[in-house]
Structure 1
Amino acid sequence: MRADSAFLAGVLLSTCPAARCMVISVPSSAPPDSADVDPALVSLSIEFFAFPDYVTQLAGTANCIANLAALRGTSPAVRIGGTTQDRATYDASLAVAVNYTVGSPADAPDTLTYGPAFFELADQLEGDVTLGLNRQLNNQTNSLEAAQRAAQTMSNLFAIELGNEPDCTLYASNSPIVPEGMSWDPDTDAASEEAWFAAFAPMLGNIFQGAVYISWTVEDLLSRIGSGISNVKTVSRHSYPQSACGGASTNLEALMSHSGIVSYTSQFETEASATRAAGKPYLFGETNSATCGGGGISPTFGAALWIVDYVLQGALVGAERLYFHQGTISNCAYCFWGNGTVFSPYYGAVFVSRFLGDDGDRIAMLDNGTSAIGAYAAYAASDELLRVLVTNSNYFNGTGTRDNTTISITGLSTSRNGGVHLLRFTAPAATSEVDQGAAVTIGGGGAFNPTDCTPSGTQTMETVAIVEGVAKVTLRASEAAIVVL
């Protein structure tokens, strides 16, 4: 919901002491255009070849996932896939989960094999698991054998994805899946998806995740797959607002801009509606800040603020879950955690999960999406107002004066004599990086142990008075807060 608060602004601007002011009116119950929130809205995607190391070699994986689960009451869903799923061959006799050779730990393998132990590790995850398998090599027999073993082993198997981003150059003219003399286009891909789903469904059921596109639209598949839609369980959009591939430049100020996030996510509203009309869940099945690992912007506090805003906008346009991709462990700027490190973006995932809580069932947007200030309300299943989140996406890089904005939140009950509590999300600058020693904090002291991702420090709440139904919250540039009612 977008609030028109021009009248209230005219009343309150004259009394606002800050350099900038904004008025947000909060409905006491969930408005009709609020969005449902899936318990696993914040979910994870893990690169296929790296998945075994994530769960066996990184001490932080289990606890980072558990922290999110504790906040939402449901474990994040996990998609295991990515570019290397289309380089992988199943070997039923392989004694280890995965086998490959790389020249450097920062590299991803060109080819790899995986065995039954891969699925045993996946079965240990608490949440729903979507499994990505190879389609590019055009070996239905091998991928079907893997899918059947996965279905037998994994009690948490949610969906199976056949192929990854066929719309990109990943499916080149020399790929075995591409018919000789033909190009790979939406028609070719839809026919391929339909044929593979139909071949696998008699043994596996209607369990397939369709589309998985980064540039083609979901409608490209929905309009072409015909009766094959009956074998589709979920539809996946891959989404990266920026690119760091091939030396492309990234821009943190643009990434974290509230109005920019609103504009970017709005492009997906029509395909989300089309997917729902087809009776299927619409997912951001792989997403993060920038392609090819994220470049210089992704490990920053600004990227954490982007996650907060982006998750909520994703839900508002109709995405049921957003799967944030975790790539090569030693070469991944946008990852949430790594080897002995918890990165700044993870704090954003935690903060937005804290806002939603285990009782947040619906959300509403309270601003009009045209400024740097964002505001949202979370509501219970009963439509009771629970919490308000405000963000200030004005960019502060640590130099010069850090401006602030006072947000007057109206419509609150005057019976709250003690005021409301405020949980602040902050860092020295938008460019701050936890792994570089910067203090990114929730509630002044709340942080995470870099070794194992256990919570550390102490979160404290600020108290904000309510005067005649109005609470005034001051946010500095590049900062956010949750108002706990």
Structure 2
Amino acid sequence: MPPMPRSKLWGAHFITLIAPIVSAIEVTIPLTAPSGAASLMGNLVSLSIEQDRWIDWAGTTEPNAFFNNVLDNFIQITNTPPFVRIGADSEDHTDFSYDVEYEEDIFPPSSAITPYPEATNITVGQGFYNIISHLPNGTQVHWGVNLREYNLTAAYLETLALMNAFSSPAVIEKNITLKFIEVGNEADLYYSNQGRNSSWDVQEYVSQWEEFAYNVSTTANLSESSYTKLIGAAFAGSSNNNLSGFSPQAIFNLGILESPAGQLIETISQHHYSGSFCTGGGSVMQDLMTKSYIRGNISMFVPDIEATSAEGLDYILGETNSMSCHGAPSKVDNMDISCNHLHMAVLLLSDVSNTAGAALWLLDYTLYATQVGISRLHFHDGIGYKYNLIQPTTLNYSILDGSPIAPLAPHVQPAYYAAIIAAEAIGSSGTTQAVEISIDEDNVSGYAFYENGSLSKAVFINLIAYFSGAGARNSTHIDFSFSGSGYTANNMSVKTLNIGYASDTTNLTWGGQTYETSDGRVSGLLTVDALPISSGVDLQETEAILVTFL
């Protein structure tokens, strides 16, 4: 039947008593990796950490055990630690002093919109850098130094302290390495954030970057043969939405890669958020989760990626997450919920960035990014930010509105499960490739994974947001067919991310197990369904599954 007319229902308890609808689709999966399939590294999902409270993440006199545990979970799965970027907005507010042991920060007042604001001034000492030794063995690091304050002495001292830390016996013994130095964060925003005057443009940026990056590279003794290289760009948006004229193409055209420092650029980084909460206001979770919206937010970078690839450089999202300014809590008012042939409107209250719905967004966003040439995504985290994958220290006031709360111990948030699922799909072979599966369904996504060229797994995600009070929970039945030559499995195992509602902030389970533990380690009995391929599989609204072909 045709959709019901759109309506507004002013109440939070509207329930429709109907049987769930099961739609059916057939997907065709190649048995061997198609030409051009994306190669995936185990650190595809990595971290960007706001620099101002780095000591809380790493620990000072001893490592932060919770943070190390949740990082080690990925090592157990992929044999690769997440890449850690330390910097962001506060990298451009950092100065160095030999009189400071770790760091001294000045913070603006907390507010309901920004309960945990970034520091406006950070003064650090050598110990701030030395505690990099607290990270897990083999961690690669990407560290930012200050360009915005136009203080060559500060950049010199920060670089010297960095190199002293990474050459220390404690760091060398654990094979923790400084892979990239980033000179300046989001310089395209320097005029709007009062870092430069109205004459600021990309040409002036290239001139200043070359000056500072040359100083940094000579201080660090970098060369084309050295392990440590420089990050290029670190701009706040794509060339499609950056009206200031800052883009990889622009700096390439201005000759940055031919400069002495520019020759040390190995990777181009850009930043992206799928919306904003900088001035408050509501955000609709279903918008964030919608398949077409996710693809639009990634595909806008394609011209930049292509230009970067043409220069022989790697391309990453060096800082990304759901909603800028630390994520969004949301009042979802008069939300239209489309459930196949049913259409209803219901008043719901829901969070966005700290929810199970955001976990499904992160999983699809990450996997789709690999399909357009993005090799790694650094999801931004700070102490108390709404969109964090990890809250690594005890919180004393709400991440949603800044109100006092009982002490909340370190914990993971729902998005962490998405990172775990991506890690399990990639595995530890070092040969994994992935392709998106063609699915003619508006909010069901699928990706096939290959090891040594042969089909091994698939991930399916149902992006329809299911809320309390929305009536029956519908599902999509997926039948499989296979194309090309290669081994055809007869059986499969199915592991499910169980979610009550898209607005849930806790009580998710992955294969029956939880990471919501006091030490960040997985707990509970693993539950995996063993099924014949011929039976297909059901995928509920607000659900993700990992299929392993046996």
- What is residue 99 of structure 1 aligned with on the other side? 104
- After superposition, where does 1:323-334 map in structure 2 within 5 Å? 323-327=378-382, 329-330=383-384, 332-334=385-387
Of 287, 302, 305, the match for 1:254:
287
Amino acid at match of 1:214: A
Give the corresponding residue for 1:272. 305
What are the residue-to-residue correspondences of 1:243-322 with 2, within 5 Å?
Answer: 243-296=276-329, 297-322=352-377
Please tell me whether the aligned partners of residues 43 and 77 of structure 1 are also in contact (alpha carbons under 8 angstroms): yes
Give yes or no for the alignment of 1:157 onto 2:178: yes
Match of 1:441 among 509, 513, 524: 509
2:383 is equivalent to residue 353 of structure 1: no
Number of the residue aligned with 2:345? none
Per the TM alignment, residue 222 of structure 1 is displaced from its structure 2 partner at its CA by 2.3
User: Match of 2:495?
Assistant: 423
| Counterpart contact for 2:236–2:272, Cα < 8 Å | yes
Which residue in 2 is equivalent to 1:364?
A: 435
The reply to whether residue 483 of structure 1 matches residue 547 of structure 2 is yes
Paired amino acid for 2:124: Y
Query: 2-side partners of 1:409 and 1:273: how far apart?
Result: 33
User: Equivalent residue for 2:157?
Assistant: 145
Match of 2:269, SS state, is strand
Residues in 2 aligned to 1:220 and 1:440: alpha-carbon distance in whole angstroms? 44
- Whole-angstrom CA distance in 2 between matches of 1:189 and 1:124: 35
Could you tell me which of 447, 452, 461 is aligned with 1:391?
461
Q: Contact 2:326 / 2:386 at 8 angstroms: preserved in 1?
A: yes
Give the match's secondary structure for 2:480: strand
Q: Deviations over 1:78-103 (max 9, x none)?
A: 000111111110113322x2112435
Quick one: which amino acid aligns to residue 495 of structure 2?
A: L
2-side partners of 1:264 and 1:301: how far apart?
20
Matched, 1:114 2:124: yes
The answer to whether 1:166 aligns with 2:187 is: yes
Cα distance in 2 for residues equivalent to 1:26 and 1:174: 52
Opposite residue 305 of structure 1, the aligned amino acid is: L
Match of 2:5 in 1: none
Cα separation, 2, equivalents of 1:123 and 1:343: 26
Q: Is the 8 A contact 2:40 2:375 kept in 1?
A: yes
Verify the 8 A CA contact 2:27 2:438 in the aligned structure 1: yes
Q: Equivalent residue for 1:212?
A: 234
Q: Offset of 1:313 from its aligned partner? A: 1.1
Residue 58 of structure 2 contacts residue 134 of structure 2 at CA under 8 Å; is this kept in 1?
A: no
**Residue 13 of structure 2 aligns with which residue?**
none
Structure 2 match to 1:223:
253
For 1:326 and 1:122, the matched residues in 2 are separated by: 17
Residues in 1 aligned to 2:57 and 2:521: alpha-carbon distance in whole angstroms: 16
In the superposition, relative to structure 1, how do residues 370 and 266 fare at CA in structure 2: closer, same or farther (>3 Å)? Answer: farther
2:538 — aligned with what? 474
Aligned to 1:6: none
Contact (CA 8 Å) 2:482, 2:488: kept in 1 or not? Answer: no
- Quote the Cα distance in structure 2 between the aligned partners of 1:361 and 1:125: 26
**1: CA distance, partners of 2:264 / 2:143:** 16
TM-superposition CA deviations, 1:361-404 (whole Å, max 9, x none): 21011125762111111111x20111011111112112211111
Change (3 A) 1:249 1:173: closer
| Corresponding residue number in structure 2 for 1:4 | none
51-60 or 22-31, which deviates more: 51-60
Q: Which amino acid aligns with 2:123?
A: T
The answer on whether the counterparts of 1:136 and 1:171 sit within 8 Å (CA) in structure 2 is no
Q: Which amino acid aligns with 1:227?
A: E
SS of the equivalent of 1:92 reads coil
Aligned residues, how many? 451
| CA shift in 2, pair 1:369/1:198, >3 Å | farther
Q: Does 1:451 align with 2:480?
A: no
> Residue 448 and residue 86 in structure 1: after superposition, are their counterparts in 2 closer, same or farther (change >3 A)?
same
Once the two structures are superposed, what CA deviation does each residue of 1:214-252 show, in whole Å capped at 9, x if it has no partner?
134322322222513313122111011111111243221
Cα displacement (A) at 1:72: 1.4
How far apart, CA to CA, are the structure 2 residues paired with 1:151 and 1:450?
Answer: 36
Q: Deviations over 1:286-321 (max 9, x none)?
A: 011110111111110010011111111111111111
Q: What amino acid maps onto 1:99 in structure 2?
A: E
Equivalence for 1:9: none
Secondary structure of residue in 2 paired with 1:288:
strand
Superimposed CA distance per residue, residues 102-135 of structure 1 (whole angstroms, 9 cap, x where no aligned partner): 3558333211101111111123323110111111
Shift of 1:33: 2.5
Q: TM-score by structure 2 length? A: 0.78
CA RMSD of aligned residues (A): 2.1
| SS of residue paired to 1:379 | strand
Q: Name the stretch that deviates more: 123-132 or 35-44.
A: 123-132
The 8 Å contact of residues 49 and 380 in structure 2, kept in 1 or not, is answered as yes
Match of 2:473 among 394, 397, 402: 402
1:89 corresponding residue in structure 2? 95
Query: C-alpha distance in 2, partners of 1:48/1:261?
Result: 28
Is contact 2:42-2:427 (8 Å) kept? no
Give, as a single letter, the amino acid of the residue that structure 1 aligns with 2:437: L
**Alpha-carbon distance between aligned partners in 2 of 1:266 and 1:77, rounded to the nearest angstrom:** 24
Q: Tell me which protein shows more strand as a share of its residues.
A: 2
How many Å separate the matches in 2 of 1:411 and 1:460? 27
2: CA distance between counterparts of 1:283 and 1:142? 27
Q: 1:26 to 1:51 in 2, by over 3 A?
A: same
Identical amino acids, percent of aligned pairs: 27
Once the two structures are overlaid, the 10-residue window that deviates more, 335-344 or 317-326, is: 335-344
Unaligned runs of 5+ in 2: 1-19, 167-171, 224-228, 330-351, 395-408
Letter in 1 for 2:287: A
How far apart, in 2, do the equivalents of 1:317 and 1:162 lie? Answer: 26
**Alpha-carbon contact 2:249-2:304 (below 8 Å) kept:** yes
Question: Deviation of residue 199 (structure 1)?
Answer: 2.8
Q: C-alpha separation between the residues in 2 aligned to 1:239 and 1:121?
A: 29
